[in-house]
Amino acid sequence: MADKDNEEVEATIADEAVVIKYKTAGEIANRVLVEIIEKCVEGASVRDVCIWGDNLIIEEASKVFKKEKEMKKGIAFPVCISANSCICHFSPITSEPDHTIAKDDVLKIDLGVHLDGFISMIAHTIVVGANSENKITDKKANCFLAAHYASQAALRLMRPGNDTYQITDMVMKVCKEFDCKPVEGMLSHQLQQFKLDGPKTIIQNPSESHRKEHEKATIEANEVYALDVLVSTGSGAARETTAKVSVFKKTDEVYPLKLRASRIFYTEVIQKHSIMPFNLRNFEDEKKAKMGVMECVNHKLIEPFQVLFEKTGETVVQYKFTVLVTANGPARITGLPFEEDLYVPNLSIKDPEILNLLKTSVNQRGILQPVKKKKKKPQKSGNAAKGTCNMEVDQPSKTETGVENMEVDASA
């Protein structure tokens, strides 16, 4: 009876200790993403960068909450780097084709960190070699601006009492201003302790069948979401190609596995990864892991994260950040600054409703300053660049992390 009672008590951001774990995980996610971006240079291997990034998450997570010996922490989502028309989940194992990073590649970098099962997700898109002398223009620039402003508009609607389809419709409306399409059927998930895909979802560009599967839900205080916006210069239709799946996660299904290789694989998943997503590269013998995962997937014990693509030649841009929904509104705890000066679009937002929404203030305390040098001291919050605010590197004190006491950055 006691176990049942414990299961019914959900840990939320109403508890200050939970807020600290979310924010600390978010700080790690931000720092790791900055380091990964520095590795994404012309000639680099996507596989090698993903492996390096996964190891860095584990290393950074091991440095916090050291006194909590039994606390589970580390990767909540393996590093994926999806280039150009690849939409998501590209992180190849050693036996599958790699991608060598080239100048002007559009790279979507996606990862997640958890501390005690409290998950902070982040994704950011860069263009390799883009700078003040090599700016992104026209159609591609339109896509970046569409994704950025759609994510910012969506963030401002993450308030208690709003419904999920208000956000769906706003993302579509912003993208239309830039003649782009949200990628069809992509989901933003509610996050709960040890649960990457909570009961509530925010769908973008839904078909009629999607609307039936994903009902309207109301955003409530003390909820947490991974707000995920993916925008395409093309039709927004996602498809599978020959790229092999490498990222999987355990489900709650039960089935008596027949093959010995499958049982060994599944046992290792439970022991090492629990319900968090993992990459097949993490297994000592990739060949045996590939054999073992097949029966598990066929009987829905393991869920694959499909590698999806748009039409070749199209550009897909992604921004994802973790949002704590408080009674006073949304607090964004992950994300990097958007360098708008790098983009020269030929379209802009004209809709008064969107413009007015974007003018409203929102709490973006979690956003890092651009990092030029690793040892450079962060600026004090009073001198922070417009629209951003420094994050503490060390574990924040309780007085710094109370959600209700977060300052609102009206210039964001």
Q: Which domains does the chain have, with CATH numbers?
A: 16-245+306-359 (3.90.230.10)
Name residue 123's beta-bridge partners.
110, 320
Q: One-letter amino acid identity for 358?
A: L
For the stretch 318-329, pLDDT in tens is 999 999 999 999
For the stretch 331-345, pLDDT in tens is 999 999 999 999 999
Is residue 84 within 8 A of residue 108, CB to CB? The reply is no
Q: One-letter amino acid identity for 188?
A: S
The 3-state DSSP class for residue 225 equals: strand
Is residue 165 within 8 A of residue 175, CB to CB? The reply is no
Report residue 165: phi and psi, to 5°. -75, -15
The 3-state DSSP class for residue 161 equals: coil
For the stretch 28-45, pLDDT in tens is 999 999 999 999 999 999
For the stretch 32-80, pLDDT in tens is 999 999 999 999 999 999 999 999 999 999 999 999 989 999 999 999 9
Name residue 247's beta-bridge partners.
279
Average pLDDT in the 264-291 region?
93
* Mean pLDDT for all residues in the chain: 88
User: For the chain, how far is it from start to end, CA to CA, in angstroms?
Assistant: 48
Is residue 93 within 8 A of residue 280, CB to CB? The reply is yes
Total-model pTM = 0.87
- pLDDT band of residue 383 (cuts 50, 70, 90) is very low
- pLDDT band of residue 365 (cuts 50, 70, 90) is low
Supply the pLDDT for residue 405: 40
Average pLDDT in the 85-104 region?
97
Average pLDDT in the 256-260 region?
95
Helix axes 352-359 and 164-177, enclosed angle (nearest 10): 110
> What is the CB neighbour count within 10 angstroms for residue 239?
10
**Of 67, 123, 114, which is closest to residue 90 (Cα–Cα)?**
123
